[in-house]
Amino acid sequence: MATQGKVITCKAAVSYEPNKPLVIEDVEVAPPQAGEVRVQILFTALCHTDAYTWSGKDPEGLFPCILGHEAAGIVESVGEGVTEVKPGDHVIPCYQAECKECKFCKSGKTNLCGKIRGATGVGVMMNDKKSRFSVRGTPIYHFMGTSTFSQYTVVHDVSVAKIDPKAPLEKVCLLGCGVPTGLGAVWNTAKVEAGSNVAIFGLGTVGLAVAEGAKAAGASRIIGIDIDDRKFERGMHHLCLKCILYQLRIAAKDFGVTEFVNPKDHDKPIQQVLVDMTDGGVDYSFECIGNVSIMRAALECCHKGWGTSVIVGVAASGQEIATRPFQLVTGRVWKGTAFGGFKSRSQVPQLVDKYMNKEIKIDEYITHNLTLEEINKAFDLLHGGDCLRCVLKPLVLAVWTVEDDFK
Ligand SMILES: NC(=O)C1=CN([C@@H]2O[C@H](COP(=O)(O)OP(=O)(O)OC[C@H]3O[C@@H](n4cnc5c(N)ncnc54)[C@H](O)[C@@H]3O)[C@@H](O)[C@H]2O)C=CC1
Ligand SMILES: N[C@@H](CCC(=O)N[C@@H](CSC=O)C(=O)NCC(=O)O)C(=O)O
Ligand SMILES: [Zn+2]
Ligand SMILES: [Zn+2]
């Protein structure tokens, strides 16, 4: 049945309150307005940032909302004036938009886009400052302009990347956030050179993607720092049937990490441990946790005169970073990165092609697969430390339009 122009009722995971289980609801998804695209989400993964907003620590977190921002799907319908995608196109929703027209996009200096950021920060669509989602008449906020924990979502046209239809959506959904963030932090933000020493704080998906990017850039030492030893030895796929059957072992070293440090094994501050290991400090460090004390350690383990530290992790509302200004006066550089500096609509399709050409990993980051109905289990897995990425399939059991009820 044709759904274009009609309200679609479908299943979505609604977050009503911080830290409370998400509820699978029948959600009404309004048709896309001018400049909008309605997307059927076929696969969506969980990123630590979803858990962060769900925890109530995100100053932009609004409830009730539909979380989710790492996904892939197919365009169901488009609103007036949308020219770059059409129904049937395979797409990745991009929380970082790219309009190609605003001063940010035209600057050549950043991947941040200003066109719709004001609306996405307050959970609505730019056209009418309203949500396209509702449950029994109550509006449900959008999240990061993507809201992918739903069978259908509505996004701005500047927030969808059209990709190769041959790409497996159950894999390339990861290119919506974590993997590009880590790779791009190395390639675009730090611009790591061959022969460099690199320290990575936090070996989740983002940290491991930093390792993968650093290895590809020719870094000679890649030091992984984590408080969870499981991240070093045999990686994830812990108790997974696939591993038991095939003895598959995915270890951080497979992503490029050459040495491991667990701060719990040392009495000295971790920055001193790294300075001692590297004849004065590393050339580049990356904080992939979201902990402001570790952000300081990551800066202070950098080499005097040139060491650069990139903040990737997202810290909670109210948290602030600190260091002695002397650290910067003596040549260390502190930077941050959003989506690894990649311009989303232009470069996500290129990353899909790189994956198809086996130039970047994706499969190795996927440790679990569940259905959307099992989303609360997926949040538990993420918090348990055994999980890198859990890909959810929003099973399309029944999709009907509101108009069908009156037929
Ligand atoms: N800037 C950006 O564009 C993006 C930022 N993020 C942020 O990056 C961070 C990492 O994301 P994921 O890899 O998905 O998270 P994750 O939770 O899978 O990984 C974090 C890792 O840090 C380790 N860790 C925790 N506390 C530690 C400590 N004190 N010292 C050393 N290691 C410690 C954990 O054991 C875990 O292995 C999060 O803060 C997330 O919100 C994620 C995507 C994009
Ligand atoms: N609302 C949050 C913002 C947190 C944040 O910095 N988000 C990252 C992406 S994290 C993805 O998993 C980002 O790209 N920020 C740039 C932006 O424009 O939001 C907060 O206020 O803490
Ligand atoms: Zn993310
Ligand atoms: Zn723009």
pLDDT score, position 403: 55
Strands ordered across the beta sheet of 333-336: 259-261, 221-225, 197-201, 284-287, 308-311, 333-336
Contacts of 248-253 spanning 24+ positions with Cβ under 8 A:
250/364, 250/367, 252/203, 252/208, 252/211, 252/224
pTM, entire model: 0.95
- Cα 79 from Cα 125, distance rounded (Å): 13
Q: Which of 95, 122, 319 to probe ligand 2 with, by most ligand atoms within 8 A of CB?
A: 95
pLDDT digits (tens, 9 = 90+) for 99-114: 999 999 999 999 999 9
pLDDT score, position 251: 72
pLDDT score, position 183: 98
Q: For the chain, which ranges sit under pLDDT 70? A: 1, 233-250, 396-407
Contact yes or no for 166/52 (Cβ under 8 A): no
pLDDT score, position 372: 97
Which residues, judged by CB distance below 6 Å to any ligand atom, belong to the binding site of ligand 2?
Answer: 47, 49, 58-60, 96, 112, 117, 177, 314, 338-339
pLDDT score, position 278: 98
pLDDT digits (tens, 9 = 90+) for 349-393: 999 999 999 999 999 999 999 999 999 999 999 998 889 999 999
pLDDT score, position 221: 97
Contact yes or no for 260/224 (Cβ under 8 A): yes
Would residue 389 show up in a list of annotated catalytic residues for this protein?
yes
pLDDT score, position 233: 64
Which residues, judged by CB distance below 6 Å to any ligand atom, belong to the binding site of ligand 1?
Answer: 47-49, 52, 177-178, 181, 201-207, 225-228, 231, 263, 288-291, 294, 312-314, 337-339, 385
Catalytic residue among 38, 303, 332, 389: 389
Residue with tokens 């992939």: 288
pLDDT score, position 79: 98
Tell me the three state secondary structure of residue 329: helix
- Cα 272 from Cα 45, distance rounded (Å): 36
pLDDT score, position 239: 47
Q: Could you list which residues have their CB under 5 Å from ion ligand 3?
A: 47, 49, 177
76 CA distance to ligand 1 middle (Å): 34
Number of C-beta neighbours around residue 224 at 10 A: 27
Q: Could you list which residues have their CB under 5 Å from ion ligand 4?
A: 99, 102, 105, 113, 115
Ligand 1 nearest atom to the CA of residue 207, by list position: 13
